[in-house]
Amino acid sequence: MKATKIFMMAALALTFAACSNDDNDIAQQPDNNEITITATVSSDDATTRALSIDGSNIASTWEADDQFAILYNDGTSNVKRVATVSSINGSTVTITFTIPSSLANNTACKIVYPASAANAANTGADVATALAAQGGTIGNCPEVRVGTATIDKDNHNLAGVTKLVAQNAIFKFTTKNANGSATIDVNSLTITIGAQNYVITPALATSELYVALPAVSDQAVRFSATGSDSKTYTCSKASVTFAAGKYYQSMLKMAPPITVTWNNDDITGSGNSFTKDGVTINAGSIDFDEKSFEENGTFTTTLGNFTKIEVVVTNGFCDVSGTGWSGNEVKRTWTGNASSVSFIGDIYGDGNGIKFVFTIEP
């Protein structure tokens, strides 16, 4: 089923209608210790099975190769059976799968669409993995849906089926420059939510990408794009909330990262603070002759958010630590996304041979 078919301003629900078999059908089951289960799947309301974008409807159709995962516990382990679409009649499809004849009647199951979205434990959907790689077009934008049912072994169907609930939203992202005056065609777009990256790679560079993302509540989201000009563009949103089953449109105002470099001779002054090119370091003690920053400290910037800080010491040593910091006494690197970065420890330049490089997302 194409992903475009399901998302409107409210989630589209799918229902199962069980197909009953008579005694003759039961008698005709093959003697291979397997029972065939048949059920129908249809849209809740045919009038909602199209996605309207800028006044243009995109048709929704089931496809013959659509597959569902039927997940249940057989009393010993969690099991996955694949249900395949066997026939299509407009907005309704019939799916079939088999179960062992020894399975207890009315065994509870979960229904996951598509089958490939089932998690490794066979207990539900792995939404992040299912959405991790995408092509950026509405036609191949994935969807993940989950419902529950019981396996009615006696009647060879599914009973008590809930509506399949969407697990992701669909976005139309438009990539533009920092002031929004012009679009940026991108070869790829990486969206980072927590530790998960969602990578969108269109067949051709474009400024409009359709993306499926899992629902989030009050989370930071970072966007990084490679433009058709080979430049890297970034932007971040500090607190984002969006719901599953919804369609959103969003403009991404993106800009190349800023690089600020402090060389040894740049670092002059007095006191316990030094500022250059929009970046400031504060420390418990600063020796400007020795280029030494001791007793812990903090980097801050007015230019945006740091995404990387590199401290390279040729003659002295650097033993700073803390969240996001890694490396050795010669080179320490911080990675993350913040306008203020603290460190624990000392940076000692021994009078020469110290360099700071800051990468900043505007």
Whole-number pLDDT of residue 5? 43
**Cβ atoms 274, 292 nearer than 8 A:** no
- What amino acid occupies position 111? I
Q: What is the pTM of this model?
A: 0.74
Burial of 89-103, coded b for 16+ CB within 10 Å and e otherwise, reads eebebbbebbbeeeb
Q: Which residues of the chain have pLDDT under 50?
A: 2-31, 44-52, 54-59
342 neighbors 281 (Cβ within 8 angstroms): no
pLDDT of residue 140: 82
The pLDDT of residue 31 = 41
Average model confidence (pLDDT) across the chain: 85
The answer to whether residues 223 and 191 touch, using CB atoms and an 8 Å cutoff, is yes
| Beta strands 34-43; 92-100: pairing state | antiparallel
Three-state secondary-structure class, residue 91: coil
Structure confidence at residue 335 (pLDDT): 94
Q: What are phi and psi of 3, to 5 degrees?
A: -70, -20
| Distance separating alpha carbons of residues 126 and 114, to the nearest angstrom | 11
Separation of CA 149 from chain center: 28
Looking at residue 58, what is its pLDDT?
43
